[in-house]
Amino acid sequence: MAKKTARKATRSKKYVSFKGRMVMIGFGSIGQGVLPLILRHIGIKPSQITIIAEDARGGIPETRRYGVRFIEKRLTRANYRQTLAGLLAKGDFLVNLSVEVASTALVELCQQAGALYIDTCIEPWPGGYTDPSLSVSRRSNYALRDTMLKLKPRYRGGPTAVIAHGANPGLVSHFVKQAMMNLARDTGVKAAVPATREGWGKLARRLGVKVIHIAERDTQVSPVPKEVGEFVNTWSIDGFVSEGGQPAEMGWGTHEKALPPDGRRHSFGCDAAIYLNRPGLLTRVRTWTPLEGPFHGFIITHNESISMADYFTLRDGKKVVYRPTVHYAYHPCDQAIMSMHEIAGKNLHQQKRQRLIVDEITSGRDELGVLLMGHKKGAYWYGSQLDIHETRKLTPYNNATSIQVCAPVLSGIIWALENPERGLVEADEMDFARNLEICMPYLGPVVGKYSDWTPLKDRGALFPEDLDKSDPWQFRNFRVS
């Protein structure tokens, strides 16, 4: 009983007070899920919060219940400055949970106004993912990140803007650092917590980490069958489809012997990543989590695949001497898999109807973590194994997937309030321990598990592909033909 009481106290703790105005753009599953957490853990009154969204996706009763102002409006390139002009000034906070509103435009607006900022991914204006006048490279997450990073020198020391800080990207960057400290402890590598980017890169190289998967398996189930012409998912359907239609992307490690046949490098930026000339929704890899075991996941492009690989890069002069391969390996809920199969047959044209499943889920969990491979102990997974029943005890308006996003949105807001003059920062540059401290009460069991799994295990003569048996951690061994 004492243990449960302590955990409940942690979940109701006020971390910081905030006297300014908070503007939230977008009020879908994440907006609705994070609002109660903001009111629970930040000293803020509902009257200080304004929500702007094209529609509330069923959330208008909640805004009225909490006494929060709601403006029903779609932000566009033409109206966003005028709409936000009277709502943001020095010391205010913009929480961007929208789709199809350019993140760089909002960051610049906040820097000019003196307001703090957070988002969960870097979004372009509508058409930015599919503009036929742009090359595949220029439509990538790599390009979006490169454009955002160009703002960093201009606004160094300005109000903190936390870039791409949800579950992934975001939380998983903190998981990787904790996993590395656990791995160092368990393999006898004496290492203090690194204080610099170079220090983290040196630790990753000492540990022998060659590959990092963001390995996620969602098993949440609705008793309502998916219908033809309907996309069912446990989180933003618009966000999932737009990401899945982008090219599969990954940080490209120094241990890799050759580019994939459809792999391409970029001609600009940090050169820490490659892309495949193929959408992520159609690209699968082998991966592993403790409860699911081995499975096939999709390489959905995400910012963390690039930012992590860039962050852990070590150079000798201009020569790159160490970098891990990093990418997402995601198996969504089974009804989303059926939806993806249908959309693939329509050349990625999205179904007209959507169903976001939250209250109707009857069982299942979201097993989200990071899988570090190639080190002395083989493979190590560290992450959250949150199920739907635990989720409903923790907070309203969430399923096991959305709360894994909402908790780091909350922690990112708190970290920004505690560190208000850092300019633009990515998750990899933030205090991992502080963010995990805030997130942990909302993640269910957070575990670390070692495994002897490799992408070659148990394949034998059943898979006569051209495998590289001399190094199991080559990308060609992970990819599903």
- Residuewise pLDDT in 10s, the chain (481 residues): 334 434 555 678 999 999 999 999 999 899 999 999 999 999 999 999 999 998 766 677 878 889 999 999 999 999 999 999 999 999 999 999 999 999 999 999 999 999 999 999 999 999 888 788 889 999 999 999 999 999 999 999 999 999 999 999 999 999 999 999 999 999 999 999 999 999 999 999 999 999 999 999 999 999 999 999 999 999 999 889 989 999 999 999 999 999 999 999 999 999 999 999 999 999 999 999 999 999 999 999 999 999 999 999 999 999 999 999 999 999 999 999 999 999 999 999 999 999 999 999 999 999 999 999 999 999 999 999 999 999 999 999 999 999 999 999 999 999 999 999 999 999 999 999 999 999 999 999 999 999 999 999 998 776 666 788 899 999 999 999 8
Q: Quick one: pLDDT at residue 7?
A: 56
Token pair of 110 as six digits? 């906040």
Residue 377 corresponds to which tokens in the numbers above?
């102990």
Contacts 24+ apart (CB under 8 A), 52-57: 52/23, 52/24, 52/25, 52/26, 52/83, 52/84, 53/25, 53/26, 53/27, 53/28, 53/98, 56/27, 57/27, 57/28, 57/29, 57/32, 57/356
From residue 121, alpha-carbon distances to 27, 124, 249, 283, 411 in Å are: 15, 10, 15, 21, 15
Q: What pLDDT is recorded for position 56?
A: 61
Q: How far apart are CA 346 and CA 45, in angstroms?
A: 47
Q: Report which residue type is found at 216.
A: E
Where does the chain hold its CATH 3.30.360.30 domain(s)?
Answer: 171-400+431-478
**What's residue 2's pLDDT?**
35
**8 Å CB contact between 294 and 182:** no
The CA-based angle 226-228-232, given to 5 degrees, is 40
CATH fold for the domain made of 171-400+431-478: Dihydrodipicolinate Reductase; domain 2 (3.30.360)
Compute the radius of gyration of the chain from its Cα atoms. Answer: 21
Tally the residues of the chain: 481
**Whole-number pLDDT of residue 3:** 40
**pLDDT tens per residue, range 292-328:** 999 999 999 999 999 999 999 999 999 999 999 999 9
CA distance 339 to 281: 11
64 burial level (CB within 10 Å; 0-12, 13-18, 19+):
exposed
Structure-token pair, residue 253: 């490690």
Q: CB neighbours of 261 closer than 8 A, spacing ≥ 6?
A: none
CATH number of 2-163: 3.40.50.720
Residues in CB range of 387: below 8 A, 6 or more apart = 363, 364, 365, 400, 444
Instruction: Sort strands 284-289 and 273-279 into parallel, antiparallel or unpaired.
Output: unpaired
Instruction: Please give the pLDDT value at position 1.
Output: 33
- Confidence (pLDDT) at 459: 87
